[in-house]
Each structure stands twice: as C-alpha cells, then as structure tokens.
Structure 1
Amino acid sequence: MKKIKVYVLTCVGIIILAILCFLPLPVYLETVGKAVNVADYVKVSGKTDKTKGKLMLTYVSLGRATPLLYLTSYLDKYTSRVPEEEISGNESDSEFDRVQTYYMNDAVNQAKAVSLRLAHKKYRQEYLGIYVMSILKNSTFKGKLEIGDTITAVNNKHFKSTADFMNYVRAQKRGTSLEVTYLRKGKQKKVVGKTVKLPGTNRSGIGISLAERSRIISSTKIKTNMDGIGGPSAGLMLALQMYSQLSGTNLKLGRNIAGTGTISSDGKIGDIGGIDKKVIAADRAGAKVFFAPNNPVSKDEKKVDPQAISNYQEAKNTVKKSNLKIKIIPVKVITDAVTYLSKNK
C-alpha cells in the first residue's frame, strides 16, 4: 500500500513538473537578445567586409511562456510579458514566422535600394506581386489562400503596383467572382473566390491584408543570409553595411557601432519595439555608439498611450536607468548616421 502511495505521488509530481515546464501559456516573454556583426550576413560583389570594427544589428529574444518561465521572468528586470494577441494576433506560430520572414526580406530589399542609391550605383526595383499578410474571417478566399502566398494576377491581369491591384479589386461589384493567380513555395496556382464587403467600409475586396513584394535588380550583386533573424528592425544597420562596402567608405574605423530601425526606400528610419532591450544587448556586445529612431510621437499614439515616448527618448532613459556608457545617437534618415560616423572618428 505504501509503495502504491509513493508511486501515485511520484506520478502526480511528474505531471505537475511537466505542466510547469511545458504547458504553453497565451503569453510571450520578450527579453534581451543579441547584437551581431552585420558583415557576417552580407556579401557585396562576392566579398565579405573584413575591416576592423563592427556594424551590429540588434534583436530581442522572444519565446512563448510556460508557467515556470512566466514565474521566473519576474527575476529579470529586462523581461516583458506580452499577451499573445499583441504578438501574433490570431495567427498560428508558422504563420507568424512567415510574416516575420517577409518583414526581414523587405528590410533587406529596402536596404539594398537605399545603399545602391547612396553609393551612386544603378539599380531597378521589380514589382513581383502582393504578399498575403492576413486573411479576414469573412473572406471567400479563407482556406484557399495562405499567409505567405504571393498574388501575381487577378483574372489573368497583372499589375505594376499594389495601388493598381487594389484599384482593380475595389472596382468590382460585391459578390463578383475573381480568379486569383498566386505563388506558394515557388509553384504557381490558381483559386476562385468572390469579393466581399470590407469591415468598417462600404468598399469591396477579397478580404486580405497585404504588402508589396518586389526585388532589387542591379549589376552590383548584394547577397544576404538572414536565416534565424526575422522582422524589419535591421533595415538601418543592413543599409549602413551595404553602403560601406559599395562605396568603399570605412564607416567603422575600428569601432563597434550598433543600432536599430526600419528603413524605407527613401532612406527614412522607422520606429521599432523593444528598443530598451536592444540597447542593453548592444552594450553587452561592447558597442560604444547606438543609433535610435527619433520620430515624434503622433497625436493618435498619445491618445492610445499618454505616456508614449519616442524610440530615442526610451533608449536614452534605458542608458540612464541602467547606468550604461553607450552613446545614443538620434537618426531620422540614413544620412544622419552616415554623417555622424564620418564626422566623429
């Protein structure tokens, strides 16, 4: 009898331990990630940058919480507990990963365009189609299209821009049957659905949220391998690394330089999340300078969060609170960073 009791208690203990360690919660833990040398991910004209110093991209570590990890996260002051819906919405983990991969590919694309233009190299941007970011519940294409598909034509009509695609679809009456041609894993497929009323509007559409997919074509070859890193926030540092190699300008001069921010084809630097953790990662990696987006907080953002501050201010606050020695440099466009590195040697 005693042996049975011990056996039962042991089994219960194992079950409880398994729940604590492995049961996924609807919460993600966001904490300090790493700062890595962008030169390890970029080749220009087949060559890797071997000069001294580093231009470093930074990223946060993001993982799903278990009961044990959730409890122990309170022991780390740099860990944030973020509800699942704020991270992935209604997407599955695989769908979330595909969206993050798109963001990284787009960041690489924009960085190529910006760096080639700054270095006075010829290039052109080829429009490839519409990247499916999400699908509404009332869409007749739900279960047919998937997040990550690239729409290349509608009713065999190809488009030169996302705006042309949207205008064509909006012009169709509600309930109109449309044949959509798309690419999935490199294979072309077709599917038929109908236009539906878009929530909160009087317009018709196919019920997807979308992003433009394109590629940069240039005689100067730029190759990247960003396996394992997702999201758009590496855009600025990728562009700086590419420009440095394309122009033959040594921006590093032996220094360790980090930063973050999205980048658009006109060189503007966009805001990102988790900048406090990225500053910590950069400091731990030995960076002496950190570029932070310095865009004003909009009125709409203030309405949602009266305490909202700019990325730059949050980065400054992190340095002060954690007593760091890293220098925070505000940037709004890529030339702000290039000018700073050129003048402060």
Structure 2
Amino acid sequence: MNRRILTLVAALIPVLVLGVAGSVFTVPFVALGPGPTFNTLGEVEGKQVVDVQGAVLDPTTGNLNMTTVSVRDGLNIFEAFGFWVSGQHGLVPRAEVYPPGVPREEIDKSNQQDFKDSEGNAEVAALHFLNLPTVVLVRKVGDDGPAKDVLAAGDELISINGAPVTTPKDLVAAVGSQQPGNQITVAFRRGETEQTANITLAARPDDAAKGYLGLTPTEGARPPMQVAFNLADIGGPSAGLMFSLALIDKLSPGELDGGKFIAGTGTIDQDGKVGPIGGIQFKMMAARDAGAETFLVPAANCNEAKQRIPDGLRLVKIENLNGAVQSLNDINAGKQTVSCG
C-alpha cells in the first residue's frame, strides 16, 4: 500500500508542478483577436459616433462599421495555448506590440494620439471630397516655440501680416518667408472672438535662415459647422476611412451603404489616400460576427486578407476615398467592384 501511494505521489508531482507553472508563469507573447466594432453612423453611450453640428444632415440607415483588434497581455502558459488552439486568435511576440524599454503609458499615449490624428485627417478628407470650405486651425503649439504663450490648440488662424491664411501651406509659406527675429501680426479666432497678436519669430530648427512660429497647423470645418468624434479608449489610426465615409454619408444625399451592413478599416490622410493597418484578419472576423456582408480592405492589406476570408464576407479593395465611395455606389447599383481575390 505504501509503495502504491508513493508511486501515485511521484506521478502526481510533475502534474502539479506543470499545473502551477502553467498558471503562474507568463509567456513573452500577446494574443490578438477580433475586437469591438462600432457603427460610425450610430450612437455610443447616447452620443453620435460622428457628430455634426451646424449643418443640414441627410438621413442615414444601415451600417458603416469601423473595426478593432483586441490585445490580451500577461498570458500564462495555459491561456496562451488556449488562444492558439481557438482559431480566433493569433500569438505574436510581445515586443512587436509593446517595444522593450518603452513605458506602457507612453505607448498608450502614442496610440491615442494616432487615433486623434486619424479623426482630423478623416474630417479634412471628407470635406475636400465634398468640396466644402475649411479653415486653418492650430493643432498643437510647441512647448518652447514663440507662439506658446499666444496661440492655443483649436484657434482658427485668419491671416499673417494681413495676408489671408486659407490652407496650412499658406501659413508655412508666410512664416518661412520671414527671417528669425522679425515680428509678425497674427489674426486668429478663439471661440467667437477674433483677436490679433504680435509674435517675434525664432529660427527654424532645421533651417536657421527661416522664421519659426512653433506650431502645427491643420484644417477643419468652417464654422458654424462643427465635427466631433465620440469614441473613447480606442487607439491607432485605422478608423480614418470609415470616419470619412460616415461624414460624407451624413453631409450628402442618398445612402452610401444602401441601408446594408458595410464594415471596413484603413488609415486615411488629408488627401484621401487609404493606408494599411494591422490585424486585418481579426477585423474581418469581428465584422462578419457582427453581421457585415461587405468589408472594405486597404489595397496594401489585400494579400493578407484573402488568405482567410470569413464565409459570406465580400472583400472590396480600396486605394483611396474616391474609390471607396465609388465602390459603395457600384454595390448599390448592383455592379461589380474590385475585390482582393
């Protein structure tokens, strides 16, 4: 009897050790999988995802869903194995998502800034597509630039030395034509109040012969129109395309989605060029699980996307915003679109 007990204990010890190790020790991998998906034409927590004020809006139905990728960190051995065999997740080295030596807070802050930038790019791209007027806004003021105590993020720039500023290039040209030490007069609007200020230019860090104001300009809707995006706790730039499409849908006649369930992803710049993103296969899974029938895929992601297409999901290859709108119009008209196949 004692020998049997000893044999059983000896056999159980490795199992117990493996169980403890599998539950306690983490692996240097993260699990990527389908994340939440949001209808950019709908609401989240009682607010419009893409909220437009000060303009006449066209009614919209259906879905233009942006998609996300979930990231699960701090996995133990058993959890990692479970995700790996699930077929719904993939394991990647943790260093690819969270680079060593970079604080997690810094990574999250960078991702949030990318998301914020994508909102601005989406707004400008949509307004340019619709030929709607824009204004030049201050996106960011440098901590050590000449404008730091005068201008603030969100200010509308009106003129430099009396010359109208209608695009960011106007601002760059006006300031760059001045020498360091020159004083310029800046007219700007903060809220509903128009103001002027004299600012002495510094030298540009990359060209000491040119004047430097120390701010980053961008474009935005001309008042009284205001555009706001109301999704929190999401990072990265990949929602840009779907934000642009939602804004176009709300500000133009007809329905881009034809009342159907369209989803997609892709970065966008202010000229409407659509760029690649990460985790395309997981985003397609999330879209199909939510009910999407069509998925808009950045052209640069097509090769990866077509390797594993969820059943019943049509892929549409997208190069730019014009092409995305044309593809949706073609779908509504029953025409063929360019696919990733």
TM superposition shift of 1:252: 1.8
Is 1:240 aligned with 2:251?
A: no
Is 1:335 aligned with 2:339?
A: no
Paired position in structure 2 for 1:169? 205
Is 1:112 aligned with 2:123?
A: yes
Paired position in structure 2 for 1:75? 85
Which whole-Å deviations, capped at 9, do the CAs of 1:223-242 have from their partners, x for residues lacking one? 11120221100100000001
Q: Distance in 2 between matches of 1:278 and 1:291?
A: 11
Paired position in structure 2 for 1:34? 36
Which whole-Å deviations, capped at 9, do the CAs of 1:36-70 have from their partners, x for residues lacking one? 21122111127998632100001110121321322
Paired position in structure 1 for 2:71? 62
Paired position in structure 2 for 1:317? 307
- Indicate if the aligned counterparts of 2:267 and 2:275 stay in contact, CA closer than 8 A: yes
**1:233 counterpart letter in structure 2:** S
Which one of the candidate residues 105, 113, 121 is aligned to 2:132? Answer: 121
Paired position in structure 2 for 1:280? 285
Is 1:51 aligned with 2:41?
A: no
Question: Judging changes above 3 Å, is the alpha-carbon distance between structure 1 residues 342 and 217 closer, same or farther for their aligned structure 2 residues?
Answer: closer
Is 1:96 aligned with 2:104?
A: no
- Indicate if the aligned counterparts of 2:30 and 2:73 stay in contact, CA closer than 8 A: yes
- Indicate if the aligned counterparts of 1:24 and 1:64 stay in contact, CA closer than 8 A: no
What is the aligned length? Answer: 255
TM superposition shift of 1:171: 4.9
Paired position in structure 2 for 1:141? none
Paired position in structure 2 for 1:226? 231
Q: Distance in 2 between matches of 1:279 and 1:22?
A: 33
Question: Judging changes above 3 Å, is the alpha-carbon distance between structure 1 residues 53 and 157 closer, same or farther for their aligned structure 2 residues?
Answer: closer
Q: Distance in 2 between matches of 1:109 and 1:21?
A: 44
**2:64 counterpart letter in structure 1:** L
TM superposition shift of 1:97: 1.1
Question: Judging changes above 3 Å, is the alpha-carbon distance between structure 1 residues 74 and 343 closer, same or farther for their aligned structure 2 residues?
Answer: closer
- Indicate if the aligned counterparts of 2:84 and 2:91 stay in contact, CA closer than 8 A: no
Q: Could you list the runs of 5+ residues in structure 2 that have no partner in the other structure? A: 1-15, 44-48, 152-170, 177-200, 209-213, 333-341
Say which one has the larger Rg: 2
TM superposition shift of 1:281: 1.0
Which whole-Å deviations, capped at 9, do the CAs of 1:277-306 have from their partners, x for residues lacking one? 1111111111111110113xxxxxxxxxxx
- Indicate if the aligned counterparts of 1:29 and 1:65 stay in contact, CA closer than 8 A: no
Question: Judging changes above 3 Å, is the alpha-carbon distance between structure 1 residues 315 and 20 closer, same or farther for their aligned structure 2 residues?
Answer: same
Q: Distance in 2 between matches of 1:315 and 1:76?
A: 19
Is 1:249 aligned with 2:258?
A: no
Q: Among all aligned residue pairs of Structure 1 and Structure 2, give the percentage whose two residues are the same amino acid.
A: 26
Q: Distance in 1 between matches of 2:243 and 2:237?
A: 11
- Indicate if the aligned counterparts of 1:237 and 1:260 stay in contact, CA closer than 8 A: yes
Q: Distance in 2 between matches of 1:229 and 1:294?
A: 23
TM-score, structure 1 length as denominator?
0.65
Question: Judging changes above 3 Å, is the alpha-carbon distance between structure 1 residues 215 and 228 closer, same or farther for their aligned structure 2 residues?
Answer: farther
Q: Distance in 1 between matches of 2:226 and 2:254?
A: 17
Question: Judging changes above 3 Å, is the alpha-carbon distance between structure 1 residues 252 and 28 closer, same or farther for their aligned structure 2 residues?
Answer: same
TM-score, structure 2 length as denominator?
0.66
- Indicate if the aligned counterparts of 2:134 and 2:219 stay in contact, CA closer than 8 A: no
- Indicate if the aligned counterparts of 1:106 and 1:213 stay in contact, CA closer than 8 A: no
Question: Judging changes above 3 Å, is the alpha-carbon distance between structure 1 residues 157 and 42 closer, same or farther for their aligned structure 2 residues?
Answer: closer
- Indicate if the aligned counterparts of 1:291 and 1:329 stay in contact, CA closer than 8 A: yes
Q: Distance in 2 between matches of 1:280 and 1:49?
A: 31
Q: Distance in 2 between matches of 1:76 and 1:280?
A: 13
**1:243 counterpart letter in structure 2:** I
Q: Could you list the runs of 5+ residues in structure 1 that have no partner in the other structure? A: 1-12, 130-149, 173-180, 183-211, 296-310
Which whole-Å deviations, capped at 9, do the CAs of 1:182-240 have from their partners, x for residues lacking one? 9xxxxxxxxxxxxxxxxxxxxxxxxxxxxx67462422211111202211001000000
